[in-house]
Chains A and B, each alone.
Chain A
Amino acid sequence: MAKGVRPRVKVPKSASAGDVITIKCLISHKMESGQRKDKDGNKIPRSIINNFTCTFNGETVIDVKMEPAISTNPYFEFDAKVPESGEFKFVWNDDDGSVYEETKAIEAA
């Protein structure tokens, strides 16, 4: 597992049923592109998060396939429907097989 990986997700605590909310998420990760060279001229191997998904009660909101051109500390902002109370689940898949997860509950009135 890459060091110092910490997901941060911003989801409103409550919404009216049927609302569309904006979710912002950021995960700290160096996203080594595989293009850079160290001072001896050797290529630094690629090490990125290659996939990100967000689901609400098991149904997909967004699924992002990521390439090395995504910046360090990948950030995503997108919209989601909230038809009922439930839980958002965020999953990041690292090149090295690590999986980082975060969940956020939301109350729909």
Chain B
Amino acid sequence: MEFTRRETLAVGAAAVVATALPLPALASTDDAIAAFTGGADVADGGVDLDAPEIAENGNTVPIEVGAEGAVSIMVLAAGNPTPGVATFNFGPMAGATRAKTRIRLAGTQDVVAVAKMADGSFAKTSKTVKVTIGGCGG
């Protein structure tokens, strides 16, 4: 099978479009939340999520999560190839239920924090972070 010059250009352009399409896998984020909560209702708000509005480099984005009375907090990046980032479990010697870390983001996307409270309820906060250089290789 031979391509004419025009067909070759068309195929090339299609390939570029295919790779440029965003990769968000929202369904798997919902799955991850459901696995964490066991299907319980998740209230909006009540979790402090501090992340920069614009991250120049997606390889290391500083974030801070915290929630009053939480026993564990899960952080998800909705637009990464795999949404899981980290789950913080706070023990009896934790001075405050907050933690800071640095994460990778593949591109501009929502970062989601889901907290499990001591009374068994769940709360969720999300924040959009703009990323100029992605951090997941590829």
Contact = CB atoms under 8 A, between A and B. Distances in A.
B136 A64 contact: no
A62 B91 CA distance: 5
Contacts of B95: 20-22, 61, 78-81
Interface size of A as a range: 20 to 34
A72 B105 CA distance: 12
A74 B103 CA distance: 8
A68 to B, nearest CB: 7
Contacts, number: 111
- Interface of B, helix, strand, loop or mixed by DSSP: strand
Contact of A62 (B61, B89, B105): B89
A76 B101 CA distance: 5
Contact of A65 (B60, B81, B87, B93): B87
Interface string A76-105: 111111000000000000000000000000
Interface of A: 20-22, 33, 35-37, 55-56, 59-72, 74-81
